[in-house]
């Protein structure tokens, strides 16, 4: 089966997206690219994530968007995934969610500021892309433009999209952005959140690059 490994990975994370509350129903979509073959595996449109089988995953040509393998209709947001694979070398997987706190904040048209240091998995902050109708090239272009310099973006009146070197990374970013959106809502109910400086977030971004890969050097206490 063409891109069997990628198909199974997309199915696994699609189920997680439902069970962990990052989307509802058949909303949202997930993809992984194989850049050596110039192909991407993406979730089909309108099928329950818990019922998706490997043969339901659609394989598209990254350059043209044409179906290479699969009988199902690919996600309506396939262009929004494909644009990142065409023009960003650091993104090999994309996760698009309709998680409630990210979607809620997107309805304000405002970015998510650095309310918590964990947001550094995505960047200094998370911008909000201009609104465009779902499934359109305009939305894909808006998302791509807004996500320059970061790995996550809110989609105005819609949800969020994240990218990573692996699907595990892209999904982790989506989880943490949703968590930070929730914290932002909570903080707003009791006062004005204390926003971390760009300098501090840049520091955390650098620290995260080696997180779990080396033992920290400690200062004298």
| pLDDT tens-place string over residues 70-81 | 999 999 999 999
Supply the pLDDT for residue 218. Answer: 61
Identify the band that residue 186 occupies on the pLDDT scale cut at 50, 70 and 90. Answer: very high
Q: Average pLDDT for residues 15-37, to the nearest whole number? A: 96
Q: In the annotation, is 77 catalytic?
A: yes
Supply the pLDDT for residue 214. Answer: 59
Identify the band that residue 213 occupies on the pLDDT scale cut at 50, 70 and 90. Answer: low
Q: Residue 106 CA to chain centroid, in angstroms?
A: 14
Residues whose CB falls within 8 Å of the CB of residue 118, separated by 6 or more in sequence, listed in order: 176, 179, 180
Longest distance between any two alpha carbons in the chain, whole Å: 62
**Which residue in 6, 9, 77, 178 is the catalytic one?**
77
Of the CA atoms within 13 Å of residue 73, those in its CB half-sphere come to: 7
Tokens found for residue 48: 């329950």
């Amino acid at each position: 089966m063409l891109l069997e490994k990628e198909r199974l990975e997309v199915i696994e994370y699609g189920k997680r997206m439902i069970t962990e509350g990052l989307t509802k129903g058949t909303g949202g979509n997930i993809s992984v690219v194989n850049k050596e073959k110039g192909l991407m595996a993406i979730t089909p449109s309108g099928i329950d994530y818990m019922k998706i089988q490997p043969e339901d995953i659609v394989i598209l040509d990254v350059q043209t968007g044409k179906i290479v393998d699969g009988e199902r209709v690919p996600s309506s947001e396939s262009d929004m995934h494909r644009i990142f694979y065409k023009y960003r070398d650091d993104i090999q997987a994309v996760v698009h969610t309709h998680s409630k706190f990210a979607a809620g904040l997107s309805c304000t048209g405002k970015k998510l500021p650095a309310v918590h240091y964990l947001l550094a998995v995505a960047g200094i902050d998370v911008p909000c892309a201009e609104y465009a109708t779902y499934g359109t090239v305009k939305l894909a272009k808006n998302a791509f433009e807004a996500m320059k310099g970061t790995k996550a973006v809110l989609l105005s009146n819609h949800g969020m999209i994240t990218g990573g070197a692996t699907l595990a990374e892209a999904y982790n970013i989506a989880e943490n952005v949703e968590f930070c959106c929730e914290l932002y809502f909570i903080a707003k109910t009791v006062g004005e959140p204390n926003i971390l400086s760009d300098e501090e977030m840049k520091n955390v971004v650098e620290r995260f690059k080696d997180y779990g890969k080396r033992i920290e050097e400690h200062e004298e206490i």
